[in-house]
Amino acid sequence: MLHQAPIKRFLFLLSVAALALAVAACGPGWEGYQDNYSDVGPLTLGPWEGDEHVIVVLEETEVDVALEGIQTYDFNGALSVLLSDLIIQSGTTLTPELYRYNFTATDGYDLLIKRYSDVSLLPGWEEMKAGYLYFDTRFDDLTCGWTRHPWGSAESAYNVKWMNQGIITLMEP
C-alpha cells in the first residue's frame, strides 16, 4: 500500500506535463493568424492587360467587352476580374440584380442546358459579385471561379472554361 502513493504522484505529474505540452503545441490560435484574413474584400491588383474579351447579351443587345483595363483581383493566386465588374462595364443594364446569368463557352458548353434549362439555377447578382473570370493556365483560356456558391455538389458545372470570346446572357428569372 505504501508504494502506490509515489506511483500515483508520478502518474499525476506525468499527466499534467503531457497536458501542458499538448496545450503549448496547439499554436497561437486566431490571434496568430487574423492578420492573414481580411473583411475588406478581395485583394485588388492593377488593371487587366491582354486582349481577352467576353460578349454580354441582353435581349437584342450584344456588347463585346474587353477585359483590358478592368480592375483585377487575386482569385486563388490567379489574376482575375469580378464577373459583376464585367457586367457593369458592358453597360447593358442599370439593374443587374434583376437578372440571372447564363454562360456559354466557345466550345459550346451552355450552363443553362447543363442546369436542365432551369433559369432559377443560374447565378444571380449576389453570386456574380463573388464570381471571377481568371486566366486558367491549365486550359490557356478564361475560366469562371466562385468564392460563394450555393450549388452544392453541382459547383463544377459553374466553373465554365473557355470563356475568352464566350457569352454571358442576362436572363429574366
DSSP string across 8-65 = HHHHHHHHHHHHHHHHHTT---GGGTGGG--SS-SPEEEE--SS-EEEEEETTEEEEE
Q: What stretch of H or E contains 5?
A: helix 4-24
Domain locations in the chain as residue ranges: 4-35, 39-171
Q: What is the mean pLDDT of residues 112-133?
A: 96
Q: What is the mean pLDDT of the chain?
A: 86
pTM confidence score: 0.75
Q: Three-class SS of residue 121?
A: helix
DSSP structure class, residue 122: S
Q: By the 8 A CB rule, do 126 and 96 touch?
A: no
Q: Return the higher-pLDDT residue of 136 and 37.
A: 136
Q: How does strand 44-47 pair with strand 71-75?
A: antiparallel
User: What does the pLDDT read at residue 37?
Assistant: 42
Q: Which pLDDT tens digit goes with each residue over 163-172?
A: 999 999 999 9
Check residues 164 and 7 and name the one with the higher pLDDT: 164
pLDDT of residue 30: 44
> Is a pLDDT exceeding 70 seen at residue 38?
no
